Amino acid sequence: MYRQNQQTSSRSGGQDVNIRPPKPPERPLVPYMRFSRKMWPKVRNENPDSPLWDIGKMIGQLWRDAPDNEKAVYQQDYEAEKVEYEKAMKAYQNSPAYQQYLAARNRSKIAQANEKSVGGRKGTQDASNVTGVIIQPVDDEDPYELTGKRLSAIRFDRNNRLMSELFAPNYLPDTRSLVPQQRIDQLRKQGQSLTLHQQKLNDELKRLEDNFNQRKHAVESTSEVFNANMKKVCEEKPQALTEANYNNLVAEWETTILKNYEEFKKQQQAIRARQEAERLETPVLYSLTCGNASPGDTGPGFQRPPVAEQNNEMPQMNKHEQMQADTKNSETCEKMDTDENQHNEEMKADNTENIGA
């Protein structure tokens, strides 16, 4: 009889366990959990071989290093959802389903209290009737009945197995990280070829640097010579031309020109004297070559008379013709001297430029 009462009480306890409240609204995530949910895929992809606890440490470090303004964004989202959660919680507590749950729970508690009080009184009456014998209750629950304790134990074991698998130091290696020997040999050959290519590039770079240094040295030496010449030219530049210097130059050149003119006249007189002497010494030869022209009359308008006329007629020139011939001869000689002087001045200018360069 007592065992039947024990089984009935366990079933009532099972009915109490089966009473479930309606699903409440979900709590809002704290700022750190929001940051962790956002950063988890990124950190997982960047560190595919790291265990879960290391990823958690990395995310925690990122959260500690995050600036305050970024944390404030997550905090504001949390506060906003928290206000919505409080409103939903008030509506949930005032809902008919939750009120029915509270009423059923109260009835169950009252029923359990009544059963305990009735069972206690009955036990004391039986114990008083039976003298010297006390019967202990036997806990013989149905092994196949899924009670609250048994369900909690099953979940606890499952969670422990899962955590031990997750936090175990041993894990299977990733096949993508395994490199075959053929691939290693190929990469080694590529490394050697890249080393040789780099050495060639270094040699080429060194050669280019040597050529550049040589050209730079040549340019610098040429620049130094040019600067020295420029400095010398700047130091030797003529002074500013004043009126007094101009007058001195004019007087100097007038003297030079007059002197040259006197020398030119002397040269012309010497030429004429020589031609006159030749004419007097060899009159026949002179008449054959020059005819009746005076000495020095060999200009572009000169025409040699025929030989018969030269032999038969020897006309004499008057003073006017003689002066014209002298003037023409003087102009010819003057032109030749001018051309020669101009040529000499051009040669001197070229020599001066070559010396300056």
Is residue 241 assigned to a domain?
A: no
The per-residue pLDDT for 120 is 56
Which residue has better confidence, 43 or 141? 43
pLDDT of 10 above 50: no
Q: Are both 216 and 81 inside the same structural domain?
A: no
Q: Are residues 131 and 6 in the same domain?
A: yes
Backbone angles phi, psi at 22, to 5 degrees: -65, 160
Q: Are the beta carbons of 271 and 298 closer than 8 angstroms? A: no
Contact (CB, 8 A) for 262 and 241? no
Q: What is the pLDDT of residue 33?
A: 87
Residue after which a domain boundary falls, among 234, 266, 285:
234
Q: Which of 22-26, 143-147, 151-155 has the lowest mean pLDDT?
A: 143-147
Residues 137 and 206 in one domain: no
Same domain? 61 vs 96: yes
Q: Indicate if 101 and 204 belong to the same structural domain.
A: no
Q: Tell me the CATH number at 113.
A: 1.10.30.10
7 confidence band (pLDDT: 50, 70, 90):
very low
The CB-side HSE value for 306 (13 A sphere, CA atoms) comes to 4
Question: What local confidence, expressed as pLDDT, does residue 106 receive?
Answer: 85
Specify whether 20 is located in the same domain as 162. yes
Whether residue 326 is contained in a domain is answered as: yes
Residue 179 forms part of a structural domain: no
In a domain, 293, yes or no: yes
Examine the domain organization and report whether 87 and 204 are in the same domain: no
4-13, 152-161, 283-292: least confidently modelled range: 4-13
Indicate whether 146 and 210 sit together in one domain: no
pLDDT at 314: 42
* pLDDT, tens digit (0-9, with 9 covering 90-100), for 259-296: 999 999 999 999 988 888 887 887 777 677 766 555 55
- Tell me, yes or no, whether 278 lies in a domain: yes
For residue 180, being part of any structural domain is answered with: no
Q: What average pLDDT does this structure show over 8-36? A: 69
pLDDT band at residue 29 using 50, 70 and 90 as cut-offs: confident
Among 168, 186, 202, the domain boundary falls at 168
For residues 256 and 323, membership in a common domain is answered with yes
Same domain? For 342 and 289 the reply is yes
Q: Give the chain's domain count.
A: 3
Is 240 within the bounds of a domain?
A: no
Does one domain contain both 27 and 160? yes
218 and 307 belong to one structural domain: no
Q: Does residue 243 sit within a domain?
A: no
Q: Which domain holds residue 302?
A: 251-356
